[in-house]
Structure 1
Amino acid sequence: RMMPAEGATPELAADIREALSIEIPGSPFNLRLAELSEKVLALDAVARVSLQVRSGGVLVVEVDERVPVAVWRFDNGLALLDKTGHRVASVPSRVVRPDLPLVAGLGADAAIPEALQLYGVARPIRDRLRGFLRVGERRWDVVLDRGQTIKLPETQAVTALKKVIELDVAQDLLERDISVVDFRNSQRPVLRLGQTAIGTFHDGWAVSLNDDG
């Protein structure tokens, strides 16, 4: 008979049975529950575990399984993280969970709560969102398609991103030929022009220099 693993997906239930590797049913006097609990908690996807020996000597495992909320790209590959930044599982490719935001960079796992807040604020531009890059373990860059980056400050990053979104809604800021929106100093934001805009600016400047009028 298979050991019941309540609250676990079939994949996690199989991992739990493999980790415990004991014959069920069995004598409860031969089961060291604290030791078995530690083995289950060692699995990345398990947040909490409770073991009970029920009638007939059947060991029942009850777990709270971690729910992935983000994909983390780091030096050694990709991993799913829960809302606390705890690892849930490895994944072979980003396309396995396209529904989750992508975070990258050293320390990104430790700042998942803030990344989730930013992801919520970014809803109006989510179709262009590529991910959140942790910079220097201190702040975030918001990476968009078309080579655009929004640089956020170390503190009040959510407020800064809200301001950028408001500017985009009011003035189509992100639809312009701008490569970087630098809000690291929200009192003095800086815009870096894209290559096409730079060329247009230089052409216009040359015309003004050669204009005798």
Structure 2
Amino acid sequence: MFDENETIEPMDTCGCGDIGYLTARTVPIDLAHGVGRIDKVPVYHCRSAYCQEFSLPPVVSRRLETIAEQMEETQATETTYTWQDKEIPVQDSGTQPDQTALDQTTDELALQAFTLQFVNRQYEDARVVQIVPGQAILFRSKLEDSEYYLLRYEEDSRTEGIWFSFLKFYYDEPNLTYEDFLEWSEDGHLKELGRIILDEVEDTLIDEFGEWT
């Protein structure tokens, strides 16, 4: 869906060398007017309480440079990580970009930014356990350890807007990776609870799991 250089994988390498899982944390940043901080930066961390290291996805590193420039322009010392719009290249000055390609790229960027907002999110009755940026969000119930929910992007050119399927399933093993889920789900263990348009996802999740923090 995305150019390889623009994707954020759910797992990579932590700064300590162990397997790193996508999460979010506050990152210090050197600015011309002093040291600043940026909250909710997507990083890879090994989940060890004793590890202070982390690594940044390449696209996040590039975005941090832009945010730092903006902070220096406004003399800010604190901000929250956000995604910028991606420019659509035009092949030559006399050619207009294809509208379908523009719409598709806009949707892809919106999907990646939207899913990454759920990093580390906790609801009253569920928590986010894994994100596949631009594709899916896995939730684990706080009420029953084997109960999971999946919010998955469904690409359909016949409908307008961005749509997700909302599914429920049970998985008894202690650890669930998205790769294991893909293999296991082929056996038909998923129960679809409904289809949700992007604008209604937040309200639907709150109705299902309670308020989030």
Identify which of structures 1 and 2 has the higher relative contact order when contacts are C-alpha pairs closer than 8 Å and 6+ apart: 2
The structure that is helix-richer by fraction is 1
Task: Give TM class, smaller chain.
Answer: under 0.3
Larger radius of gyration: 1
TM-score scaled by structure 2?
0.27
